A and B are shown apart, each in its own frame.
Chain A
Amino acid sequence: MTMEQQTSSKTTATRAVVAAIFGVFLVFLVILSMGTPTAMLDNRTASAAYAVAVFIPVAAVCLLALARSSKAP
């Protein structure tokens, strides 16, 4: 595999996993919006704010990986 092919496959894999992680986040936000707020917060808005806040480090890591994946090894 050439270096270009390696970089391309790494970018594809990173895009796929980052999309999946954001997908998980969206799925759980949808489930929250249709169902019950979390046990410790008694309304959906507060529960969603908690979910977003907790997801920020994950999103940051994902975006950083996305930015770096296209660089050659």
Chain B
Amino acid sequence: MTLNIASPVIAELSFVLLTVLVFYGASKRFGPWRTAVFFLGSILWTGPLENFAVLRGAYTYYGYANMIYPHYPGYLMWLGVLPFWIVMGWFVFAMSGYVIFHDVLLSKKRALFQAAASGLFAMNIDLMMDPIASSNSLWIWLTGSFKIYGVPLFNFAGWFLLIFFYDLIASHTILQNKALPGLSKIESKIFRRSSPAEGSIDYKRLVFRIVVLETFVIIFLTLLTQFIDYIAYSVA
């Protein structure tokens, strides 16, 4: 395996620039404050989940540790055991999917359909990205889970689910204010207002929705991984 120490530097710096570009475009459309909340929400959405996966031993981001100088962790900015450019990447993909499908291509369709399209779009990008990134050790898959193209199958399901649910959260809480189907009954018992106020972001509701749906995604992905491995290794 040929590792080029410029690769993590290029990845990290590029994603900073791409984040700035997407932030600029989105703030023209939705305003800087809502775009900032979307960005912070994506940190809260993916940060704990990815940290959980790394600490559980599914993968690691330390492929380039100690390569530039001793104790250099491989990237400059971190959020726990997760490089910050990964979180920026989630923001870039989530916001891109939102703009493309909610605002332009499927603006008259249901939110569920728009979120599903956004999830598939992101998964398609990862089909290009993940084999290159993992073979170049930008991240290293440690799990023994069933793999295609050197990437665990559950990863692609994870990409779809993460973007799908965050798209729903954003479209119902950050960029628009709507009751989220499935959670509205629980929310009416927890929050004083039965539905969010018009024109403002309900931050408590945002955090609640992120925490509940993130817990659901973690449990669902864990079970799905077991199921995929059981089927794949039984057949093999």
- Which residues from chain A sit less than 8 Å from chain B, CB to CB? 9-10, 12-21, 23-25, 27-28, 30-32, 34-40, 47, 50-51, 54-55, 57-58, 61-62, 64-65, 68-69, 73
Contact = CB atoms under 8 A, between A and B. Distances in A.
Interface stretch (B50-58, B133-141, B182-190, B212-220): B133-141
A50 B132 CA distance: 10
B2 interface: yes
Given A9-B28, A12-B25, A31-B136, A68 B14 contact: no
Contacts of B21: 16, 19-20, 23
B80 interface: no
Contacts of A39: 131, 134-135, 149-150
B69 to A, nearest CB: 20
Contacts of B124: 54, 57-58
A33 to B, nearest CB: 10
B7 A31 contact: yes
Per DSSP, chain B at the interface is helix
Contacts of A36: 1-3, 135-136
Interface stretch (B41-49, B71-79, B96-104, B224-232): B96-104
Given A23-B18, A34-B6, A54 B127 contact: yes
B137 to A, nearest CB: 8
Nearest to B107: A73
Nearest to A6: B29
13 contacts: A12-B29, A13-B26, A16-B25, A17-B100, A18-B100, A20-B18, A20-B92, A30-B10, A36-B2, A38-B135, A39-B135, A54-B124, A54-B128
